[in-house]
Amino acid sequence: MKILGWLTVLMCGALLIFNVSEFPDMGDANSPANSKQNLSEYFLKKAYHDTKVPNVVTAVLADYRGYDTMYETAVIFSAGLACFFLLRIFRKKGPKSRFYRHTPTGVTLRIDEGGKLPEESDVFKRIDSIWIPHDNIVRITCRLVVPFIQIFALYVIAHGHYSPGGGFQGGVLLGASIILIAVSNNLRAGIQRMSEKGAALMGSAGVLIYAGTAALCLLLGSQFLNYNALAKLLHIKPVVARYNGILIVEIGVALAVMAVMVWIYYNLSSAGKHDEGL
Amino acid sequence: MDMALILAKANYWGYVILLLIGLYALISKNNLVKKIIGMVIFQTAVILFYITIAVKKGGNIPITPHGKGYVVEAANFMNPLPHVLMLTAIVVGVATLGVALALAIKVYKQYGTLEEDEINAMIREQ
Amino acid sequence: MSTHYPALIIVVPLLTAVIVAAVGWINKKYCFPLSVASLAASLLSSIGLLFEVMKTNGEVVYRFAGWEAPMGIVYNIDYLNSLVLIVVTAVALINLIFSKGSIENDFPDKEGVFYALYILFTTGLVGMVATGDAFNLYVLLEIASLTGYALLGIGNERSPLSTLNYLFIGTIGATFYLLGVGYIYIATGTLNMAEIALIIPKLPNVGIIKFAFVICMVGLFVKMALFPMHGWLPNAYSNAPSSSIGLIAPLTTKVTVYIMVRAGITIFTPEFTFEKMHLDKWIVWLSVIGIVMGSCFALAQKNYKKMLTYIVVAEVGYMVGGFWLGNKLGITGSILHIVNDAAMTLCVFMAAGIFSYKIGDHISDFKGLFKKMPFTMTAFAVGGLSIIGVPPTCGFFSKWYLVSGGIEAVKATGSIGALAFIVALLFSSLVNAVLFFRIFEVAHFEPFSEGHGHEGHSAVEINEAPLGMLIPFFIVAFSLIFLGIFSGDIVSNIINQFIPVLPAGI
Amino acid sequence: MEREWIDVITLAIVIVCAIGAINVKDLLGASILLGAYSFLMCILWAVMGAVDVAFTEATVGAGVSTVFCVAAVFHTTRRTKD
């Protein structure tokens, strides 16, 4: 296997390096990809005029090549489905024994199978058998940081038209905030904030917002994804309709990405049991 | 091959090296998670390649100012199209990573190891 | 609505997949009818699209988001697209109806998600076939791949490892394709397939394009399991559950072959592909070795499913070799074989689904089956004969075109590769005959033994498959004969309309 | 000119991180190095003017991917032979 690897690498390396010398130099504004008569020029000059979005990347992402981005959302959604499908185990077998901490005294109780389980409350906290994060500094710091992350995420989504950012980045940040809760407390704390079913439905809803907006344009008599069609519905100018269409779509993307990231994390971190995990 | 030529295409050389590192890990590493890490490096290398295409010397980030009567000079901004494509590629990368790790966990549950030679030995014994 | 067919083919399944995934959490009952309805809608609109293409005599253009070709993503649907679209949607629909029972049996808690993955996989393939944008193809390739990994990795205890290996290889292939698109972009500055084809002949320096071509093709060959990159396929397919393998085995390799044809003819232009590259002879040799090796390995298998997977490897060799012969007959044969082989593979894998449900996968267990399940075995026999290439079935006709393409190539250039290709085709047909007649013999002449080895299946009584499985199975078996009878019409009305005038003297 | 040197130096560190990530004999360490690799890559892209891509890589590559890797390693094993 080692020799095969070296052989492939050497062959590919020789081919690739041989070709690098034919490339235009880095930063060459006149290379075919960047030159005047091509797409780069068109997007930079016309994107603001067409959509009223100064961030050209957002405009191209959600409008000119919005069809790609719809499938990008579908890719992430299928990854969520795939992780669930491969890993999730619904059997309620669980580990043989459960562990609880009696908070006032700090005593850890082990309750074997068949024993009476205490009610989950402030006094009795269930803890994991392998991973016991009970560092107050970590927990409280994370709890303090989470709202700020979420507000920043919302800013990133809403302000993606004017600055770097957009649905993906914001969605991942939102998802990360919930993952942070799950990491700093335990998995069940995360699941309390966003249940598995909630994550799954929200993922569907996100993709549905995107594809639904696009299909709505089709039903209104225009091409698929052509936000101009929304202008009649919303009583606004076509350019503004494109601007708003991009915003709606970005919200859908953010919703889907957030939910799916959390969903994948639940399945990976507990190997599908959703019981104990990182 | 003087220094200037190497520098002028520095990122292209870098992307080739990263691609080869990733490819090597993907093909000849024995541990499954190591292979997955190689896969991520491999994909990121291609993204670096695309971003390098988009660079224009002295260019700005592709957010156009929009005052009245402002005329955008395209040579002053980076090419936005490869950026858009690579946003998609990054997301595809993380999706693949998630599925690959899920499969690796399943393999570990089945055989209790992530080393490919040990797993193959177990399969042969069955 | 007829102007929106290109969008509807893909959008209806996508929307339904998302809805089904959500409905699965609320009420599982609605998942199956919704899925069937969406795939049926997709099939109907692809048939409508074919008529639309015939009416406009050429291509149907659809601009997504209303933008013109290089800026936005545009579909240019021509004869080849619409033909393969019908194949993909029809196979997906029939296999879904066929495997309803086994889906409910295998994944009781995850039905909704299975249907959603199933439809998303189909969406990915349909999008790959329909698209006119090189990068859009990559995204859809990844949708099809990711959902495919999920559908394959849930099989028996060995499937996670073999699927993980498939994932590594598949990612290498897809990433190479992406890299190739990057090279095309750096040289031409566009991603639209039609536009690329216009720019390539004008380029002063084709070095980068040549490399882009090589790397795209390597990526696709890895994905379609051409020898020597075929190692992942037999394990990944034979360990998979029968409901998903009936979808994946007939379609994945064929759609990748379609992309190769599309890349060779539409993106890179035939002049470039067959004249400037000087690769055609080598690839024909690769396919020859692939056919011979695939057939030999198939001969060595005792497990029916595993045998079929090696036949799939050999069939990939047929199509790739036929295309790279570079003449009209060869390419016709290759495209016709995409259609026929999808139907044939579906037929024999459906049989595999019934067998592994009733008895098991080992050929030695098939004793006396003709008496126990005569209808199933008749349909299976049609599939087997078609793979061998016996005249009234469709397998014969595509092989006929492939062989005549080979003869023409030998006549025109005297190339030994084409001669070897003909010999390999005949050899492989012979091997297929041996393989299937071995099964027929076991199933027909040897008496049924009650105490056969598999304890796990002893609970299932061995008799005809249920009607819900038998009807789709028969439809497929009939379609094999139907395709065979009408193959002349398919070739003259659809395939020949697509193949452009090829440069002379190849 | 300075910008190019930043490019080259970051690229060199990225390559070192990549080599480290595939050679470290501990999977948790390898995952963390992969995170470092992604983060440096994101800095490189920000220098090259691809701010949106850099932002995505910072959240997805350096953030969530690393968490996924660590979660998977946590549920399997840190042991590796190569």
pLDDT digits (tens, 9 = 90+) for C166-182: 999 999 999 999 999 99
Smallest CA–CA distance, residue A268 to chain D, in Å, is 6
Tell me the mean pLDDT in the region C136-158. Answer: 92
C448 exposed, middle or buried (CB, 10 Å; 0-12, 13-18, 19+)?
middle
User: B103, A5: Cβ pair inside 8 Å?
Assistant: no
Q: What is the pLDDT of residue A37?
A: 61
Q: What is the pLDDT of residue C449?
A: 63
Smallest CA–CA distance, residue C230 to chain B, in Å, is 15
Helix (H, G, I), strand (E, B) or coil at B34: helix
In chain B, count of helices (H) and strands (E)? 5, 0
What lies within 8 Å, CB to CB, of A224 at 6+ separation is A67, A214, A215, A217, A218, C4, C7, C11, C62, C64, C65
Q: Which residues of A touch D72 (CB under 8 A)?
A: 268
Cis peptide before C228 (omega within 30 of 0): yes
Domains and CATH numbers, chain B: 3-57+67-125 (1.10.287.3510)
Instruction: Give residues 108 to 137 of A whose Cβ lies within 8 Å of B.
Output: none
The structure's pTM equals: 0.94
Partnered with residue C192 across adjacent β-strands are C133
Number of domains in chain D: 1
A124-127, strands of its sheet edge to edge: A107-111, A98-102, A124-127
Nearest CA to C111 out of C14, C20, C247, C240 is that of C20
Residue D68 lies in a domain: yes
Residue D81 lies in a domain: no
Q: What is the pLDDT of residues D43-60, one digit of tens each?
A: 999 988 889 999 999 999
User: D34, B40: Cβ pair inside 8 Å?
Assistant: yes
Instruction: Please give the residue that has the higher pLDDT: either C280 or D22.
Output: D22
Chain A residue at shortest CA distance from B54: A34
Its domain, for residue D41, covers: 2-74
Q: What is the pLDDT of residues A253-266, one digit of tens each?
A: 999 999 999 999 99
Helix (H, G, I), strand (E, B) or coil at C133: strand
Q: How far apart are the first and last CA of chain B?
A: 57
The pLDDT of residue C55 is above 80: yes
The pLDDT of residue C225 is above 50: yes
Alpha-carbon span C17 to C95, nearest angstrom: 16
Residue D80 lies in a domain: no
Residue D45 lies in a domain: yes
Check CB contact of B34 with chain D, cutoff 8 Å: yes
Per-residue confidence at C505, pLDDT binned at 50, 70, 90?
A: very low
Q: Which residues of A touch D67 (CB under 8 A)?
A: 176, 179, 183, 265
Nearest CA to B40 out of C171, D45, A74, A10 is that of C171
Q: What is the pLDDT of residue B22?
A: 92
Per-residue confidence at C450, pLDDT binned at 50, 70, 90?
A: low
Helix (H, G, I), strand (E, B) or coil at D69: helix
What lies within 8 Å, CB to CB, of C16 at 6+ separation is C34, C35, C37, C38, C119
Check CB contact of B30 with chain D, cutoff 8 Å: yes
CA dihedral for C263, C265, C267, C270, sign (positive or negative): positive
Q: Which residues of C touch B39 (CB under 8 A)?
A: 168, 171
pLDDT, chain A, mean: 85
Q: How far apart are the first and last CA of chain D?
A: 40
**Least confidently predicted of A110-124, C150-164, D61-75:** A110-124
The H or E element containing residue A39 is helix A39-51
Smallest CA–CA distance, residue A17 to chain B, in Å, is 7
What parts of chain B have a pLDDT lower than 70? 1-5
What lies within 8 Å, CB to CB, of C51 at 6+ separation is none
Mutate to test the interface with B, among C145, C178, C229 (most CBs of B within 10 A): C178
Alpha-carbon span C400 to B6, nearest angstrom: 55
Mutate to test the interface with D, among B39, B40, B77, B113 (most CBs of D within 10 A): B40
Smallest CA–CA distance, residue A26 to chain B, in Å, is 6
Q: What is the pLDDT of residue C506?
A: 44
Tell me the mean pLDDT in the region A70-76. Answer: 94
Per-residue confidence at A93, pLDDT binned at 50, 70, 90?
A: low
Contact A261, D63 (CB under 8 A): no
Residue D17 lies in a domain: yes
Tell me the mean pLDDT in the region A159-179. Answer: 91
Contact A71, C133 (CB under 8 A): no
Alpha-carbon span C182 to C163, nearest angstrom: 28
The pLDDT of residue C273 is above 70: yes
Chain B residue at shortest CA distance from C180: B46
Q: What is the pLDDT of residue A36?
A: 55
